[in-house]
């Protein structure tokens, strides 16, 4: 097992694969967070007709199969599709787009429920002290920051481990759109289970490192 791990680590292509994995997942997470936290907080704090429907849609979105998302994004980005002229298909841009779609419902829905769980009294208290709507919202969000961080962590876990979407819209092109999950599928397909497991270990270590960093950030803010 050790020499398989060393074989995987010694492969010069591994650096490119790891780097692309982090870039694609990192970008998608960034966009999904920038969109998902405000929208989730807004839905969590407001009461409006159709709120239950929005909640239902977000919750269902959390269970979207990545391969289905990949298929839909593929058809949209295909040269014979509506967004073909963008030229994103089989490039990391398409992979970021697909993973953003997968990550967004996770961030939004879990932020929404975290915000919803904050004690109503806090909101009343802060309003009584003269806070504006924005200040109230920000205070509630800060109070719910553990749940919000958890939503980001959940989204990260969801997209760094998915393979269906990036395989379809990226094409697993060596040197350009190959990430850790698609590399694992390739090794498995070729029967090289040992290499596949070693790559899987690298992926887990990456996830471990990223989550440790996120926890650090959360800890410092307390």
Separation of alpha carbons 157 and 62, rounded Å: 12
Q: Is 132 left (phi over 0), alpha (psi -120 to 50) or beta?
A: beta
The least distance separating another protein from the CB of residue 170, rounded to whole angstroms, comes to 9
Per-residue b/e over 15-52, b at no fewer than 16 CB within 10 Å?
eebbebbbebbbbbbebbbeebbebbbbbbbeeeeeee
The least distance separating another protein from the CB of residue 194, rounded to whole angstroms, comes to 9
E strand segments, the chain? none
Give whichever of 89 and 115 is closer to another protein, judged by the CB atom.
89
Separation of alpha carbons 91 and 178, rounded Å: 10
The least distance separating another protein from the CB of residue 23, rounded to whole angstroms, comes to 8
The least distance separating another protein from the CB of residue 174, rounded to whole angstroms, comes to 7
Cα dihedral sign, 87-88-90-92? positive
Give whichever of 141 and 165 is closer to another protein, judged by the CB atom.
165
The least distance separating another protein from the CB of residue 98, rounded to whole angstroms, comes to 15
Give whichever of 89 and 108 is closer to another protein, judged by the CB atom.
89
Give whichever of 142 and 176 is closer to another protein, judged by the CB atom.
176
Give whichever of 151 and 187 is closer to another protein, judged by the CB atom.
187
The least distance separating another protein from the CB of residue 28, rounded to whole angstroms, comes to 16
CB 31 within 8 A of CB 106: no
Give whichever of 61 and 81 is closer to another protein, judged by the CB atom.
81
The secondary structure of 168-209 as a DSSP string is HHH---TTTT--HHHHHHHHHHTT-HHHHHHHHHHHHHHHHH
Per-residue b/e over 167-198, b at no fewer than 16 CB within 10 Å?
bbbbbbeeeebbbbbbbbbbbeeeeeeebbbb
The footprint of another protein (CB under 8 A) covers: 16, 19, 23, 78-81, 84, 89-90, 171-176, 188-192
């Amino acid at each position: 097992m050790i020499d398989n791990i060393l074989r995987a680590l010694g492969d010069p292509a591994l650096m490119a694969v790891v780097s692309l994995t982090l870039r694609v997942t990192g970008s998608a997470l960034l966009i999904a967070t920038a969109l998902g936290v405000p929208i989730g907080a807004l839905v969590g704090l407001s009461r409006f007709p159709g709120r239950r429907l929005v909640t239902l849609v977000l919750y269902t979105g959390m269970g979207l199969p990545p391969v289905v998302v990949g298929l839909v994004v593929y058809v949209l980005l295909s040269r014979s599709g509506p967004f073909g002229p963008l030229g994103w298909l089989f490039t990391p841009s398409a992979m970021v787009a697909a993973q953003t779609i997968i990550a967004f419902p996770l961030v939004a829905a879990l932020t929404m429920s975290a915000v919803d769980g904050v004690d109503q009294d806090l909101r009343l208290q802060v309003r009584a002290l003269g806070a504006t709507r924005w200040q109230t919202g920000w205070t509630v969000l800060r109070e719910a920051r553990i749940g919000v961080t958890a939503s980001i962590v959940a989204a990260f876990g969801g997209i760094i481990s998915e393979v269906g979407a990036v395989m379809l819209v990226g094409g697993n092109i060596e040197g350009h759109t190959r990430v850790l999950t698609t590399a694992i599928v390739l090794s498995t397909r070729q029967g090289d289970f040992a290499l596949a497991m070693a790559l899987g270990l690298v992926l887990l270590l990456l996830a471990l490192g990223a989550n440790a960093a996120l926890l650090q950030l959360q800890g410092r803010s307390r």
